[in-house]
Amino acid sequence: MKVITKASEKFMYQYLNATSPTGFEAEGQKIWLEYIKQYVDQTYLDDYGTAYGIINPGKDFKVVIEAHADEIAWYVNYVSDDGYISVIRNGGSDHIIAPSKKVNIHTSNGIVKGVFGWPAIHVRKGKDLNLAPKVDNIFIDVGASDKEEVESLGIHVGCVITFDDELSSLNDKYYVGKALDNKMGGFCIAEVARLIHNNKIELPYSLYIVNSVQEEIGLRGAEMIANHIKPNVAIITDVTHDTSSPMMKAKEQGDLKGGKGPVLTYAPAVHNKLLQLIIETAEKNEIPYQRSAASRSTGTDTDAFAYSSSGVPAALISLPLKYMHTTVEMAHKEDIESVTALIYQSLLAIQNGHSFKYF
């Protein structure tokens, strides 16, 4: 099944290139809602920014497919008298990759450009040669001479900062860029909505296509919306580590490789019968898949849905991703197609009032 079209790829680029830092997801959410609007019967936006579309609203049985909308970022935490900006994380941003990156500082005057500077290799003598970036030594330079000049640009403590980078294609096989975690998931669920609409599928239940905020700081948007929707079933999509690149440890982190298909996770929060339905769906439709195991929690919105209300049968379909939380996250195009196809086909296999009775 070919999923990505010229038009949907255009949406993918627009959506991924929009910024959606945790807590400030509006720009991305507007684009996402605008796109899915044409494929759903109703849309909804909660007060913290989680958005969803409903296909076939009003049924007693509710099925959720979900991704998270937010991307990792930084906060301005301190401005020195000589005009350098210190940061703290907003989500799991990686200090190691920061030096020499260009950044966008989001202010009420719009974007202010900056760079993470770093002392030159020539001047790093002795033990400083391998001086390591840390959250408390990295700094942003916006080209200002002092604190007043920084403030005059509209920058203040609490402004959010993102890396300045755009989505691109690599060797025709991979998409590469920042925030594929998990905006590529938002793309996949939007594509599922498009397929259901265009293929004129009549679902026997209400389908909620949910793009949650604030996952990167602890699954918060999903917690809120799960308790609002109170679904009967939830299929979550997120990214997981492709462990095939240098220095990854397949034995510890799971033996997963881009291009070999979606990853299905075994974990206490994952409902065995729903997982079994997804595996059977993959096999029946010849969609490749890989397996992973998570001790305790999955660390994804799956946990938030599974443990909401009095328990919601939930499962996780993950996209293998290289270099997570860098600006060169890489996802294989065939995996994006397969994640979308697997969610779509699984929805077709779920019946009205589907029983997930434990035994």
Binding residues for Zn ion, rule: CB under 5 A, are 181
Please identify, using beta-carbon distances, which residue of 55 and 335 lies nearer to Zn ion.
Answer: 335
Question: 117 or 218: whose CB is closer to Zn ion?
Answer: 218
Minimum distance, C-beta of residue 299 to Zn ion, in the bound complex (Å): 9
Q: How far is the CB of 181 from Zn ion (least distance, A)?
A: 4
Nearest distance, CB of residue 171 and Zn ion, angstroms: 24
DSSP letter at 61? S
**Given its phi and psi angles, is residue 223 left (phi above 0), alpha (psi -120 to 50 degrees) or beta?**
alpha
Spell out the residues 6+ positions from residue 308 whose beta carbon is closer than 8 angstroms to its own. 223, 226, 227, 230
Sign of dihedral through CA atoms 249, 251, 256, 262? negative
Least distance CB 237 / Zn ion (angstroms): 13
Nearer to Zn ion, 165 or 181 (CB): 181
Interatomic CA distance for residues 92 and 104, integer angstroms: 18
- Closest residue to bound Zn ion by CB: 181
Identity of residue 21: P
Cβ proximity to Zn ion: between 25 and 181 the closer is: 181
- Helices (H) and strands (E) in the chain — how many of each? 9, 17
Compute how many other C-beta atoms are within 10 angstroms of the C-beta atom of residue 233.
24
Q: Which is nearer to Zn ion, 59 or 89 (CB)?
A: 89
The least CB distance from residue 216 to Zn ion, in Å, is 5
Minimum distance, C-beta of residue 325 to Zn ion, in the bound complex (Å): 6
Which lies closer to Zn ion via its Cβ, residue 181 or residue 191? 181
Burial 303-338 (b: 16+ CB within 10 A, else e): bbbbbbeeebbbbbbbbbbbbbbbbebbbbbbbbbb
